[in-house]
A and B are shown apart, each in its own frame.
Chain A
Amino acid sequence: MADEVSLDARNPETLLRRFEPVVRFTKGEWFYPMDTQPYVRACSLWVSHPDEEAVCVVPAGHLALERLAQQPEDSADAVHYLKIPPPKEGGKRRFWARLLRRRGHDGPDWPRETFRAGRGRLARVGYVSRLADALFSLTLLARGRVPGGDVEGARVLYGRLMEREEHYGYHGRVVRQDGWIVLQYWLFYAFNDWRSNFFGANDHEADWEKVFVYLSESESGEMRPEWVAYAAHEETGDDLRRRWDDPELEKIGEHPVVYVCAGSHASRYSPGEYLTELEFPLPRAIAAVRRVARSFWYKTLRQYSDEYSAEKPYELFTIPFVDYGRGDGLSVGPGQDREWDPPRLMMDPLPTWVSGYRGLWGLYARDPFEGEDAPAGPMYYRDKTISQEWYDPVGWAGLDKVPNRTEELGVILIRQAELETRCTRLRSEIQEKSARLKALGTEAEATRDRSHLRKLHESQKRQIKELSREVETLRADLSNDEVLHESLEEHAERLRSGERPPARAHIAHAARPVSEAENRAGRMAQLWASISVAVVLLTLIGIFHYQRQHLLSALVFAIAVFAFVEASFRRRVTRFIGSVNIGLAMVGALVLLQHFFWQIIFLTVLSVGLYILWDNLREFGR
């Protein structure tokens, strides 16, 4: 648990304001970070028990942050959740407005800007992903999901609040953990409308996102920013964080810049459109076969692997969604279009709405995948356990193994001292055991070829074998420790001279926006992407119905035509031709194998035999 220590002279609010982020949104965003108080006041509180209708325990307008922790009618399996009041406008108009992706005329004039999608997400991926996407959409009919009217309810609620007076706020917390001072900026949004308004994977009422800044304190007491971590979907670990001097991290003064994706509110370091993919892992056996085949193909046969195939080996089994983090809309932060309100602190003392309310902050849709259920508060996961971001913000971003700049030389010295002690111990142990080994060797030499000492000699040989192995291990350990000590010394030297390790060495898979070249696609390509799955399915049905006598050739022809059309639209004709050739080469190899099986075996054995003969003769000739 992070030891939450009062920062004495360093006022948490001052620290938070000093490094507060500049948040840039996409044009057409509906919901911005807000204070929780007006949201909670407008919501009703509900409780759901398994196999029972949910019950409203506090009606809308009677709730306040301070009362949230009371959680009436609690029981073992109860789920408490807030609910945004439904809009009062006529349902029919809302339906058509939703269908045409236009907001109704009633209610507040919100949002003030319109979103333009640009190139459709389906134009960026292949047929299988499009088919998987269609199936995913169908599953929404069976799964629990947020009703379509809820986003309208949230729009009306949020729009009215913003019409009254615009506020942009975050919730702050400052903690010390493992030598780090972590500034936590918790951003609360009234609604995640990624699916409804931005063609994304899910919708849910309420959304909690976070940006953490990690500071170290120098010996003179100066606060130094070293790392930042932005939350994006459910990602955790090393890939989340960037070092303060990383060229990818944009800053305005001491304020890190965050690009917030439209609807999903995922936070990104660079502006652009991100292809977020839901991945469906292959069954283990198939994945193993695929791995072996790929290794043979790329490593043994040294076949070409372009950037695309290297990065997305499992592209066939993903569903694409675009995260629009363009940063071309409103900018909130110091010196920007809008400024932050003073933060609502979640510390000293910890507010009861944070620690006491374990329910959800919006509708509980009973979605088995939880994508449509509202999130819990900053301190908890949906299952009411304490979230890692709260109790271990350093480990959440993978910083638990990284000493800060004030500590790192000290850590190296301590480790070097440990290694020196260990090396001394190992050396004396090796000396002692080597002496014993030599003595045993001499004894074994003396007892060799003496029939009456046969058993003793055997025992000595066993001991020698064991002791040799031990000495070998000790020498290997000593060698490793000496090399490590030397490496630490060099590392310390580099640090002393002001050199820093590479800023991005810890990142395994950095989320990157889709390139401009990938974004370019004509309207025909987008139209094709929208209709292709249906056309393919209809064609297949047509072939099965009308071309049964030439089923195989008709299917091969149709698949080839569709693949070519797709490759042309996606500017991958070269890749397509390469793939077709590889497929044909495989069929050709099978044909040859079938016709010349024994000849191939004979030739292979003959080649191996000749090679061995040549190799041996070469050795003989030297």
Chain B
Amino acid sequence: MYRQTRLLGVLLILQVVALVGFGAYLFFTIDWDRIMALANEGEITVPKSMEHQVEQAILFAIFFLPPAVLLLLAGFGFLLLRRRGWLLASVAQGLTLLACLFYYPDPRPGFTYPIIAYCILMVLYLNSQGVRVVFHSKGMTPVSRGPETTRGG
């Protein structure tokens, strides 16, 4: 039963690692030395291409940091607390997909496609019968009856 939750935890943490990786790549491709040098020289404007890079990196952080935090919490929730975190994981997948699909207009940056593909698989896995049953199983409560009557034969 808990094999599913452990697997989910690992997959979610892998997703966080991938998001952090994309973010790190975006930040490290920016020539920060040049920006600092321009700033020291008192330049107010930076070249257009560099401005676009910085903007993309900042927007990535804004859009993907909250879901990454949620994914991390959900991932550790699955690994440590077993049955906690389904809702967090679902909300995080939804937010990630929303950002990839609706914020980035055509042409989308290349990194969004693997994120979309991963999210689709995760949504299907989170919604699969095996996983949902683990998280949403509830006990049945019997209905009480009046004392003066009999039921059945």
Which residues of A does B touch, CB under 8 Å?
Answer: 244-252, 257, 270, 301-306, 503, 573-574, 577-578, 580-582, 584-585, 587-589, 591-592, 595-596
Contact = CB atoms under 8 A, between A and B. Distances in A.
Contacts of A247: 151-152
A252 B152 contact: no
Given A302-B130, A303-B129, A305-B129, A250 B145 contact: yes
Interface residues of B, number: 34
A248 B100 CA distance: 53
Given A303-B124, A584-B119, A588-B117, 16 more contacts: A245-B152, A246-B152, A250-B145, A301-B128, A304-B131, A304-B132, A305-B129, A574-B136, A577-B91, A578-B127, A581-B126, A582-B127, A584-B94, A585-B97, A588-B120, A595-B113
24 contacts: A244-B153, A247-B151, A250-B145, A251-B149, A252-B148, A302-B129, A303-B124, A303-B129, A304-B127, A304-B128, A306-B136, A574-B87, A577-B87, A580-B94, A581-B123, A581-B126, A584-B97, A584-B98, A585-B119, A585-B120, A588-B101, A588-B116, A595-B113, A596-B113
Interface in B55-104: 86-87, 90-91, 93-94, 97-98, 100-101
Interface of B: 86-87, 90-91, 93-94, 97-98, 100-101, 113, 116-117, 119-120, 123-124, 126-133, 136, 143, 145, 148-153
B152 A249 contact: yes
A301 B136 CA distance: 19
Given A247-B152, A581-B90, A596-B113, A588 B136 contact: no
B129 A252 contact: no
B127 A591 contact: no
B119 A251 contact: no
Contacts of A581: 90, 93-94, 97, 123, 126-127
Nearest to B93: A581
Contacts of B91: 577
Contacts of B149: 250-252, 257
A592 B151 contact: no
Given A302-B130, A304-B127, A584-B94, A248 B120 contact: no
Q: Which 7 pairs across A and B sit closest by C-beta, in order of nearness?
A: A245-B153, A304-B132, A584-B97, A585-B123, A588-B116, A247-B152, A585-B120
A588 B127 CA distance: 16
B101 A587 contact: yes
Nearest to A577: B90
B15 to A, nearest CB: 14
A301 B124 contact: yes
Contacts of A589: 120
Contacts of B97: 581, 584-585, 587-588
Contacts of B152: 245-247, 249, 503
A585 to B, nearest CB: 4
Given A252-B150, A578-B127, A585-B119, A592 B113 contact: yes
Nearest to B117: A592
Contact of B101 (A246, A306, A591): A591
A303 B123 CA distance: 10
A373 B151 CA distance: 37
Contacts of B130: 302
B151 A582 contact: no
B150 A251 contact: yes
A304 B129 contact: yes
A301 B94 CA distance: 19
A580 B95 CA distance: 10
Contacts of A596: 113
Contacts of A584: 94, 97-98, 101, 119, 123
A362 B116 CA distance: 64
**Residue among A245, A257, A574, A585 having the largest count of chain B Cβ atoms under 10 Å:** A585
B9 to A, nearest CB: 18
Contacts of B126: 578, 581
Contacts of A580: 94
A394 B104 CA distance: 67
Contacts of A574: 86-87, 90, 136
Given A588-B120, A591-B116, A577 B94 contact: yes
A5 B36 CA distance: 107
Nearest to B121: A585
A303 B97 CA distance: 19
Given A306-B136, A574-B87, A581-B123, A250 B101 contact: no
